[in-house]
Amino acid sequence: MPITSLSSLLLLAPVFALAISFHEYAHAWMADRLGDPGPRLAGRLTLNPRAHLDFLGTVMLLLLGIGFARPVMVNASRFRDPVRDMMRVALAGPVANLLLAAAAAMLIRLGEGLYPRFAFDVPLVYRFLYVAVRLNVALALFNLLPIPPLDGSRILRAFVSWQTRDLLNRLEPYGFFLLLLVGYMGWLGALVFRPTAILTRLLVGA
């Protein structure tokens, strides 16, 4: 769902800022809770979007319709169980986005339940909430892709051999180009956008 108009950009920008802020805050909160104060000391334990926006991730949002934030730097050696706890830190971001999507969907359903013509009489509010559901679901699914440095690769590390972990580490510097390749090949449709449409319909009930 690439941005094709100024109105789409104006609607998507605040939703994206909110989504990535909660996503990165969740990473920082979980890391801090598990014993690494680094994200808190670096100013990442905040919902301020300015602390989390990433230039390349924002460019991908404009080009491909999905982007990412500046990663929270975590020191796994501070954790009691580095592999398991890194997986928990990685999961926190997508879970935060799914919770936001569920909250926005609940507001849509509540609005329609109390006032059946909600979607038609308050179109801007409805569109904002609908985009919030769709973007947060997309952001969660996108980050669960097992491509470094996305969260999916951190989660995958907990279930594979050390050789595979080493391969993921060596691929990480090329992660942005791998993501561009995935977008260029059209695989985001099957991996992210179509599942997002299905989950959005289930949540909103449309």
**Residue percentage of the chain with pLDDT more than 70:** 92
- Collapse the DSSP code of 85 into the 3-class scheme (helix H, G, I; strand E, B; otherwise coil) and give the result: helix
Evaluate if residue 1 carries a pLDDT over 60. no
Q: Is residue 118 part of a domain?
A: yes
For 149, phi then psi, to 5°, come to -100, 25
Number of C-beta neighbours around residue 40 at 10 A: 14
Evaluate if residue 154 carries a pLDDT over 60. yes
Q: Is residue 1 part of a domain?
A: no
Evaluate if residue 6 carries a pLDDT over 70. no
Evaluate if residue 201 carries a pLDDT over 70. yes
Instruction: Reply yes or no on whether 172 is catalytic.
Output: no
Evaluate if residue 20 carries a pLDDT over 80. yes
Q: pTM (2 decimals)?
A: 0.87
CA distances from 90 to 128, 182, 206 (A): 27, 21, 31
What pLDDT sits at residue 9?
67
What pLDDT sits at residue 124?
82
Q: Is residue 45 part of a domain?
A: yes
Q: Is residue 129 part of a domain?
A: yes
Q: Is residue 96 part of a domain?
A: yes
Q: Is residue 155 part of a domain?
A: yes
Q: Cα(36)–Cα(31) distance, rounded to whole angstroms? A: 5
Q: Where are the alpha helices (DSSP H) in the chain?
A: 6-33, 38-41, 55-64, 82-114, 118-121, 123-143, 151-156, 162-171, 175-184, 187-188, 194-204
Q: Please give the tally of structural domains in the chain.
A: 1
Q: Do 54 and 82 contact (CB within 8 A), yes or no?
A: no
Mean pLDDT of 90-119: 91
Catalytic residue among 11, 12, 15, 24: 24
Q: Do 36 and 84 contact (CB within 8 A), yes or no?
A: no
Mean pLDDT of 194-201: 96
Q: Cα(134)–Cα(59) distance, rounded to whole angstroms? A: 19
Chain Cα centroid distance, residue 180:
17
Q: Is residue 17 part of a domain?
A: yes
Both structure tokens of 111: 């609005």
What pLDDT sits at residue 179?
80
The boundaries of the domain holding residue 174 are 6-204
What pLDDT sits at residue 145?
94
Residue type, 127: R
> How confident is residue 14, by pLDDT bands cut at 50, 70 and 90?
confident
What pLDDT sits at residue 172?
85
What pLDDT sits at residue 26?
97
Sign of CA dihedral 44, 53, 14, 181: negative
Evaluate if residue 30 carries a pLDDT over 70. yes
